[in-house]
Amino acid sequence: MLKIDNLAVSYGMIQAVHGVSFAVKPGEIVSLIGANGAGKTTILRTISGLIRPKQGQILFEDQDITKTAPQKIVASGLSQVPEGRHVFPGLSVMENLEMGAYLRKGEFKADYEQVFQKFPVLKERKNQDAATLSGGEQQMLAMGRALMSKPKLLLLDEPSMGLAPIFIKEIFSIIQEINAQGTTVLLIEQNAKMALSVAHRGYVLETGKIVLSGTGAELLDSEEVKKAYLGG
């Protein structure tokens, strides 16, 4: 579904990503793990069209999207939930969800109901200003907003950041549910244990390079990963 080939990204003179290549198959959850500054968010923002790469190619369903505008990438079926959630303050929960469907036409009532089934708390707070939600509720809203675009591939950037443990478990359970219902997921996460426990496959990033790859179970069992990321 997604193929990244020899991707390099720079910020001025600083190169953040060095010749990264990986793939995501339909139906998978793929996790990219690594320390802060490893290049994870840069890769996601480049896939979404928010950053232009220095070199390399990005293919989504065999179409080259390397230089495609972000709104066209969303319309093609690829949606990102950004790090830090970034809900729209001053807009209600319902209005935030409506923004997720901005590029679509027609009636969205059934889609709202699907989001509310996954996130019942959003239905309870549907008329509430999004800025007044808790951190966990804002994360749910950001995910629900992305799902309103009906993505084939969902990009999640640090969904557990700043959340209480009870919300982290709930968010990862919902990620698995979304995947089981047919949405492919590319997950960027510092919580390596949670990320690999739900992943079909994973990649380990260090200073902008992929240094390890394998199934989620293989990486969880790797002595190198345990020592660097799991406190083993």
Q: What is the CATH number of the domain that holds 62?
A: 3.40.50.300
Percent of the chain whose pLDDT exceeds 70: 98
Integer Cα distance of 185 and 36 in angstroms: 21
Tokens of 89: 């303050």
pLDDT at residue 164 is higher than 70: yes
Per-residue model confidence (pLDDT) at position 36: 85
Q: Which residue, 208, 156, 168, is CA-closest to 31? A: 156
pLDDT for the residue 100: 86
Backbone angles phi, psi at 217, to 5 degrees: -65, -40
CB 204 within 8 A of CB 210: yes
> Model confidence over 143-162: pLDDT tens digits?
999 999 899 999 999 998 88
CA–CA gap between residue 232 and residue 6 (Å, rounded): 32
- pLDDT at residue 35 greater than cutoff 70: yes
Provide the domain count of the chain.
1
Neighbours of 167 (CB within 10 A): 18
- 232 has a pLDDT exceeding 70: no
Prediction pTM value = 0.90
What number of helices (H) and strands (E) belong to the chain?
Answer: 10, 10
pLDDT of amino acid 17:
96
* Residue where the block lists tokens 């193929």: 3
Q: Do 2 and 186 touch, CB atoms closer than 8 A?
A: yes
Q: What pLDDT does 231 receive? A: 67
* Burial of 52 (C-beta count, 10 Å sphere; 0-12/13-18/19+): exposed
- Arithmetic mean of pLDDT over the chain: 92
- Within 10 angstroms of residue 57's Cβ, the number of other Cβ atoms is 15
The residue range of the domain holding 225 is: 2-229
Mean pLDDT, rounded, for 24-29: 97
Mean pLDDT of 44-70: 96
